[in-house]
Structure 1
Amino acid sequence: MPKKQPVYNNESISSLKGAERVRKRPGVIFGSDGIEGCEHAVFEILSNAIDEAREGYGDRVSVTLFKDGSIEVEDFGRGIPVDYNKKEERYNWELLFCEMYAGGKYDAAASNYEYSLGLNGLGLCATQYASRWMKADVYRDGLHYHLDFERGENIGGLQKEPTRSKRTGTVIRWLPDREVFTDIDIPVEYFKDVMKRQAVVNAGVLFQLHDQSTPGGETTEFRYENGIADYVAELAGEDALTPVISRSSEAECRDRDDRPEYKVKMGAAFCFSNKRQVLEYYHNSSWLEHGGSPERAVKTAFVSQIDAYLKNKGLYKKGESKITFADVQDCLIYVSSSFSTVTSYENQTKKAITNRGIAQVMTEFLKHTLEVYFIENPDEAQKLCSQVLVNKQSREHAEKTRLSIKKTLTSQIDIANRVAKFVDCRTKDLTRRELYIVEGDSAMGAVKTSRDSEFQAIMPIRGKILNCLKSDYSRIFKSDVITDLVKVLGCGVELDGKVKNDFAAFSMDNLRWSKVIICTDADVDGYQIRTLVLTMLYRLVPTLINEGYVYIAESPLYEIESRGKTYFAYTEPEKADILSRIGQDKYTIQRSKGLGENEAEMMWLTTMNPETRRLIKVLPEEAQRTAEVFDLLLGDNLAGRKEHIATHGYEYLDDLDVS
C-alpha cells in the first residue's frame, strides 16, 4: 500500500502554551536539554538572589543540595512581591512564576535593580516550568507567603499568614524534571565553582553551600571582602612580577548613535606573573566564558599601551615587529567585573556580551589605567614590558622552529614524489587520498590504467620484500623497497630513539593518506607479499594499523561467465552460490587472472571502485594476534613453526596452488 501522506493545511499550525513553551523546548531557554541546561536553570534562580544582595539587601546567599536531588536557594533580601497587583489586575506570583517576560527589571527608570544579572524576566518562570515540583516561601511585610507548583501548574493558590519573625527574603526549592532535562544530576563541583565566582565579583557577600546530598553534610563558604582584587592576589601568590593593581570607574555610553545612553560601572584587577596566566571577565556578576566586549577591550588596551612604552624606550630592535596580545597574555593575570544598565548578551546563557559601547569605554578606561600606572611605577613598568618583549621573542623563535620543522617534513614529502615508479594522485585533500601498494610492474600497469587518478596513488613493490621480523634495523633501512615505502607514507617511523635512521620521528599529522591499501594477487605468492608488507607496517608504523588506516584489497578467486554476464567469486562458498543461481545454464569458470592480466574495466570494478570493491580493514584488536602469528610464521622460532605446520597444515591443503 502507498504510504499515507501527512495533511498540511491551515489547521496544521499550532503554538505552545503555558508550561509547554519550556517543557517541550528547554534548549531554547536554557541553551541545552542536558546537564548544561539544568545548571543554567540553577543559575537563573541564584541570579535573583545575587541581585538582591548586590543592591544592599542582605549580605548572604545560601544554597542547599538535598538527597532527593532537589535544590534550595535562599536569600535574605526584601522578599519577592507576590500579592495582588492592582496595576496588572493580577497576582504578582502569577506574573513571576507563570508568565514569561514578567518581572521588576524592565523599566530602567523605576527598576529596583540598576545593574541586574537576572535581566530578561525568564529565569524564575522558566525554571518553575522545567521542574517536577517547586516550593516558594517569601517573607516580607510581616507575612509568610507560600506557593506550590507541580510540572508547571500551581497547586492550592497563594497561602499567607502573619509571622512574628522580623526576617525578610525568599526561599525557592525545586526538583529539576527528568521529563524536561536528559540529565539532572548536577555535580557539586558546579555549585562550588559558580558560587566562588559570584563571591569574587560581589565583594563582601557570603556564599554558603550546604551539601546534604551525601553523608556528613559538608558546608563550604566563599567570601572575598575586596572582591576581584583579593581574587587576583590569591591567583598570583607571593612571587608575582608586580603587585596587584585594582582600579574602578563609571561612564556613560551608547551602542549606536541613535540609541539612548546607558550607565557602565567598570572594575579591573591585574598583575604580571611568570607562574600563572589567567583571564576572566564578568558582567553583571555573570562569568563571560566566551568574553565578548570586555575581552576586546583588554586586547586593544594592553597591546596599545605596552607597545607604546616599548617604542618610547627604544626597546624594539630596528625593523622588529610589534608585540601581540599572546605575548601579553603569557604573563598576565587579569580579572574584570563590569555592570551596565543595558546589556546585550549573545544568548540567554549569558556567556558573552556584544555591547559596542561597553567595549569602547572599557578600552579607554584600561588605557588610562595603564598610562597612569606606568608613570607612577617606572620600575614595575620596565620589568613587565621587558617580560612581554621576552615572551614575544620566545614566541617568534618557536614559530621559526615550527616553520623549519614543517619545511623539513615538506621536503620529505617532496622526496616521495621522486621515489622510483611511485605514481601520486592529484588531490591534496588528506581525507580522500588512497595509496595502493601493488606487487610488480605488471600489476602496477593494470592498476594505473583502471584507477581514479584524482585520489588513488600507486606504489609498486619490486620483488620480495624483506622479512622485517627476522631482520635488524640496520638491514631494514638498507632495503630500497622499504625506505621508498616509508618515504611515500610520509609519517616517519616508530622506533626507539637510540636507533639511528634517516627518517623523522613518527607523527600521524604527517601521514599523507586516508587509506593504505595492500593489493596483491589471490595466490600463494600474493599472500606472502601481503604478509611481508603487513609485517613491515606492524614493525615500523604500528599506529597505522591500530588507528585503522591499513586495508587489504580482496581480489576475486574465480571468474564465471554465463549468458553474456560475468560473475566474480571471492570465496569457495560464493562460487557455489553463483553456480546454484545460474542453475542449468551453460557457464565457463576459471581461476581469476593475476592483477597484471586484468582488463582496466574489470580491475576498476573489482578492486578500485569504492562503490563495488571489497576492502578488508586490518582491525586494531587483531594487532596482538597478528604479532603472534607473524612471530610464529616469519620469526626465528623454527621449532614452533614446524609444530604449527604439523598440527594445522592439513587445513590449508585445498588452498595450495599446485597442479
Structure 2
Amino acid sequence: MVVPRSTSSATDYNARHLQVLEGLEAVRKRPGMYIGSTDSRGLMHCLWEIIDNSVDEALGGHGDRIDVTLFADGSVQVSDRGRGIPVDIEPRTGLSGVEVVFTKLHAGGKFGGGSYAASGGLHGVGASVVNALSARLDVEVDRGGKTYAMSFRRGEPGTFAGDGPDAPFTPFETGSELAVVGKAKRGVTGCRIRYWADTQIFLKTARFDYDGLVDRARQTSFLIPGLSLAIRDERGLPDTPGADGPHEEIFLHDGGISEFTEFLAADPAVTDVWRLQGEGTFTETVPVLDDKGHMTPTEVERNCAVDVALRWGTGYDTKLKSFVNIIATPKGGTHVAGFEQSLLKVFRKQLEVNSRRLKVGGDKVDKDDILAGLTAVVTVRLAEPQFEGQTKEVLGTSAVRAIVSKVVEQELTANLTSTKRDLKTQSTQLLEKVVAEMKTRISARLHKETQRRKTALESSSLPPKLKDCRSSDNSRTELFIVEGDSALGTGMAARNSEYQALLPIRGKILNVQKASVGDMLKNAECASIIQVVGGGSGRSFDLDMVRYGKIILMTDADVDGAHIRTLLLTLFFRYMRPLVESGRVYAAVPPLHRIETVAQGRAKGEVIYTYSEAQMRKTMADLNKRGRNVKQPQRYKGLGEMDADQLAETTMEPRHRTLRRVTLADAEAAERMFDLLMGSDVAPRKDFIVDNAAGLDLERIDA
C-alpha cells in the first residue's frame, strides 16, 4: 500500500527552519566534530592544540622553552618564548591579531603566508576551538617591550572581575580591547595561555593524563633538539607523581632523533645509530590567497627535508616511528613507503654483490628480513603536507615517496660500502644478520609445509627424547618441559599419557637474550623446544600451528630451577611471544615440603604439602596446637625426590595442582626487565642486584 505524502509537512519546512550557527557556536554545538570526544581524550586534544602552537614556534627557530602547568583548580597554562601572537589590527576584520586567532575559525599564520615554513597546524582552528570550549581563557602576549592581555568566556571577549571561571564577567559591547597590563623586558617575546575547560561541555570524569603528557613532551623534545619542555603537576591527585606535592619534569635532548632511536631500542646493538639526511624539491598546484582575497590556483615549488635515524639490533621486533613536521603518523604514508622501498632495493643489491661471501644462494631477501631488529625514526619536513583524513595519521603527499627513497638509498649505500673500519665491520654483521633472518624464514616455511603434509600414519621427525601424548585435541593437550632425566622418569609414571607430553632438557639452556638468532637455532635444547612446540619462531611464528594447548615449565623449587625457568621464559618471550600473549605458557608450582601426621585413634593420618618456609612453620604450629603428632617433614630439593603418586597429586593432576599463568600485561616493561636480568650489559644488572640485596630472603638460597 502506498501512503500519500502529507502536503502540509512539505510546505511547513522552509528557510525559516534553517539554523545558522555564527562564529564559535558551531564548535559548542558539535564539539566532537573538532576534538573527537568530550571525555579525557577530547580534553587532552585541546591541550595538544595549544602546546602544538608553541611547538610550531620552536620548530621555526623561535623560542627554546615551553612550560606546561596543571593547576589544582582544574586549569592548565602553556607558556612559550616564541614571537608572540600578533597584537596589531588585522585589516579585514578590524580586530587585534589576538582576538582573530582566538575567535575566528580557520584564521592563523599557517596557510602559506610565509610565517611558517613547516608546522603541525594546518587548519587554523586549534586556538579558537579551545577558546570556545573553555569556561574562561586568559592570554598574555609579550611583544615590543609590552605585555598585552585579553580574556574570554566561552569564546566571547570581555573582562573578569576576579580569579577563576566563576568570577563576574562583563562582555565587550561596542568594541574589544587588547589591554596593556605591563612592561616586558627588551627583546623578550612569547605568550602565556591559561584556560579552564567548560564543565558544560566535558564529562565530569574528564582528566588531564599526566603520563600521556609526559610521553608526548619527551617525544617532542627528541624531534626538536635544544627545545626544553617542562611539565609541572600541582593538582595533588592520588596515584600520580604529584600526589605528595608539586612535581616537575623537564625534557631536553640535544641528540635529536639519534637519541630518540637509542631510547626506543631495547635489544643489544648490531650497528651504531646511522643518520641519513638529505632533501629534495617538488612542485604542486595549490590555491593561494591573493591580494584581493581570492583563491587562485598557483604552481609552487616545495622543499622536503628528510632526516632518518636507524639502527639494527640482535632481536627480530621492528620499532618504526614516523613524523611529518613533528606530527606523528602511526599509520605511515608516502614517507614510510619510500623508506621501506629503498631499504629493500639497497639490501637486495648489496646481497647480490656479496652473494658468494655470504652464501646467499638463489633465495631473495624479503622486506621482513631487513626490518627484523630495526629501530628507526623517519621524519620529513615540508610546507602544507597533505594528509589522508582529518586525523593526520597517514601522509598523502605523493612526491615525498621518491624524495625519501632517493635520500635513504644514497646515504644507506654509502654506509654499507664504506671502507672505514667500524662501518665495514658493522655492515658485515648487518648483512650476515639479514641473510640469517632470510634462511630462518625459509626454514620455518618449509617446516610448516612439512607439518601440513604429514598424516597420522607417517613417521614423525620430532626429537626422540620427547614423550608425546596420544591426543591431538589442543583444548586438552599439555607439554611439560622438565628439568633433567630424573624428573622425566618420575614424570613418565605420574602423567596421563592421553593428553600430557614430556620434554626433558639438560640443565640450563642458552641465554637467548645475549645470543644471535643463528646461535639460538644451533643450540640443541632451543631447537628441540621450538620443533616440539611446532609454531616456528620469531616473525614467522604461527599460533595456529602450535601442537599443545598448554606449555608448562616444570622445574625444581630452588634457585637453579628458578634460573632455568627464567631462561626458558626468555626463549618464549623473544621467539614465541604470541604463546605468552595468548596466556598458554604456565609455570608448575611443586611443593617444598611434605608433612605427614601420625594416626591417633579415629583420626587418620593426613598428608599436607606446603609451598614456602613460612607456610610450613605455620602449618606445624597449627598441628601442634591441635595436639597432632607429626613425622619429620620432608624437604623436596628437586622433582626427582618425589615418587610418581606425589608428583601427580601435587604438580601434574589438574584437579589438585597449582599453575601460574605467565602473562604480559606490559610487554615493553617485561622486555626491559628481561634485558636487565638476561642481557649483555652487566653494569645495570650489578646495580639492580646491589640495590635489591637487602630484600632477599636468604632461606630461598639452597646452600
381, 397, 414: which is aligned to 2:443? 397
In the TM superposition, residue 259 of structure 1 has moved relative to its aligned partner by 5.3
Q: Which residue of 2 aligns with 1:141?
A: 144
Q: Which residue of 2 aligns with 1:437?
A: none
Question: Structure 2: which amino acid aligns with 1:261?
Answer: E
167, 179, 191: which is aligned to 2:213? 191
| Distance in structure 2 (CA, Å) of the matches to 1:22 and 1:496 | 59
Q: Which residue of 2 aligns with 1:274?
A: 314
Asked if 1:362 is matched to 2:345, the reply is no
Asked whether the 8 Å contact 2:24–2:105 carries over to 1, the reply is: no
| Distance in structure 1 (CA, Å) of the matches to 2:360 and 2:271 | 25
Q: Which residue of 1 aligns with 2:256?
A: 227
Query: Following superposition of structure 1 onto structure 2, how do residues 77-88 of structure 1 map, counting pairs within 5 Å?
Result: 77-88=82-93
| Distance in structure 2 (CA, Å) of the matches to 1:238 and 1:28 | 42
Asked whether the 8 Å contact 2:69–2:231 carries over to 1, the reply is: yes
Q: Which residue of 1 aligns with 2:51?
A: 46
Once the two structures are superposed, residues 189-210 of structure 1 have per-residue CA deviations (whole angstroms, 9 ceiling, x without a partner) of: 1110111111011011111111
Question: Structure 2: which amino acid aligns with 1:248?
Answer: Q
Q: Which residue of 2 aligns with 1:10?
A: 14
TM-score, L = length of structure 2:
0.56
Asked whether the 8 Å contact 1:245–1:270 carries over to 2, the reply is: yes
| Distance in structure 2 (CA, Å) of the matches to 1:326 and 1:492 | 32
Q: Which residue of 1 aligns with 2:498?
A: 501
In the TM superposition, residue 103 of structure 1 has moved relative to its aligned partner by 0.7
SS of structure 1 residue aligned to 2:300: coil
196, 217, 226: which is aligned to 1:175? 196
Question: Structure 1: which amino acid aligns with 2:195?
Answer: W
262, 269, 272: which is aligned to 1:243? 272
SS of structure 2 residue aligned to 1:265: strand
Q: What's the % identity of the aligned pairs?
A: 24
Question: Structure 2: which amino acid aligns with 1:493?
Answer: R
The alpha-carbon distance between structure 1 residues 31 and 328, as it changes in their structure 2 partners (threshold 3 A), is farther
The alpha-carbon distance between structure 1 residues 301 and 145, as it changes in their structure 2 partners (threshold 3 A), is same
Once the two structures are superposed, residues 124-159 of structure 1 have per-residue CA deviations (whole angstroms, 9 ceiling, x without a partner) of: 111111223211111112222222222222223434
Asked whether the 8 Å contact 1:22–1:29 carries over to 2, the reply is: yes
Q: Which residue of 2 aligns with 1:150?
A: 153
Q: Which residue of 1 aligns with 2:393?
A: 351
In the TM superposition, residue 122 of structure 1 has moved relative to its aligned partner by 1.1
Q: Which residue of 2 aligns with 1:301?
A: 342
Q: Which residue of 1 aligns with 2:431?
A: 385
161, 169, 183: which is aligned to 2:180? 161
In the TM superposition, residue 402 of structure 1 has moved relative to its aligned partner by 4.6
| Distance in structure 2 (CA, Å) of the matches to 1:177 and 1:405 | 62
SS of structure 1 residue aligned to 2:150: strand
RMSD: 3.4
The alpha-carbon distance between structure 1 residues 259 and 159, as it changes in their structure 2 partners (threshold 3 A), is closer
Q: Which residue of 1 aligns with 2:42?
A: 37
Query: Following superposition of structure 1 onto structure 2, how do residues 112-151 of structure 1 map, counting pairs within 5 Å?
Result: 112-151=115-154
| Distance in structure 1 (CA, Å) of the matches to 2:376 and 2:153 | 44
Asked if 1:201 is matched to 2:223, the reply is yes
In the TM superposition, residue 309 of structure 1 has moved relative to its aligned partner by 0.8
| Distance in structure 1 (CA, Å) of the matches to 2:127 and 2:33 | 15
Question: Structure 1: which amino acid aligns with 2:221?
Answer: A
Structure of greater Rg = 1
| Distance in structure 2 (CA, Å) of the matches to 1:24 and 1:406 | 59
| Distance in structure 1 (CA, Å) of the matches to 2:22 and 2:233 | 36
SS of structure 1 residue aligned to 2:271: coil
Question: Structure 1: which amino acid aligns with 2:329?
Answer: L
The alpha-carbon distance between structure 1 residues 316 and 203, as it changes in their structure 2 partners (threshold 3 A), is same
SS of structure 2 residue aligned to 1:351: coil
| Distance in structure 2 (CA, Å) of the matches to 1:508 and 1:297 | 32
| Distance in structure 2 (CA, Å) of the matches to 1:51 and 1:508 | 45
Query: Following superposition of structure 1 onto structure 2, how do residues 459-470 of structure 1 map, counting pairs within 5 Å?
Result: none
| Distance in structure 2 (CA, Å) of the matches to 1:184 and 1:105 | 30
In the TM superposition, residue 243 of structure 1 has moved relative to its aligned partner by 1.3
In the TM superposition, residue 310 of structure 1 has moved relative to its aligned partner by 0.8
SS of structure 1 residue aligned to 2:391: coil
Asked if 1:99 is matched to 2:104, the reply is yes
| Distance in structure 2 (CA, Å) of the matches to 1:149 and 1:54 | 28
Gaps of 5+ in 1: 413-475, 478-482, 511-626, 628-659
In the TM superposition, residue 508 of structure 1 has moved relative to its aligned partner by 11
TM-score, L = length of structure 1:
0.60
Asked whether the 8 Å contact 2:369–2:437 carries over to 1, the reply is: yes
Deviates more, 1:84-93 or 1:323-332: 84-93
Asked whether the 8 Å contact 2:44–2:209 carries over to 1, the reply is: no
| Distance in structure 2 (CA, Å) of the matches to 1:294 and 1:113 | 21
How many pairs align?
Answer: 433
Once the two structures are superposed, residues 163-222 of structure 1 have per-residue CA deviations (whole angstroms, 9 ceiling, x without a partner) of: 333132111112233443445312201110111111011011111111111232111011
Asked whether the 8 Å contact 1:146–1:158 carries over to 2, the reply is: no
SS of structure 2 residue aligned to 1:49: helix
Question: Structure 2: which amino acid aligns with 1:209?
Answer: I
Asked whether the 8 Å contact 2:351–2:360 carries over to 1, the reply is: no
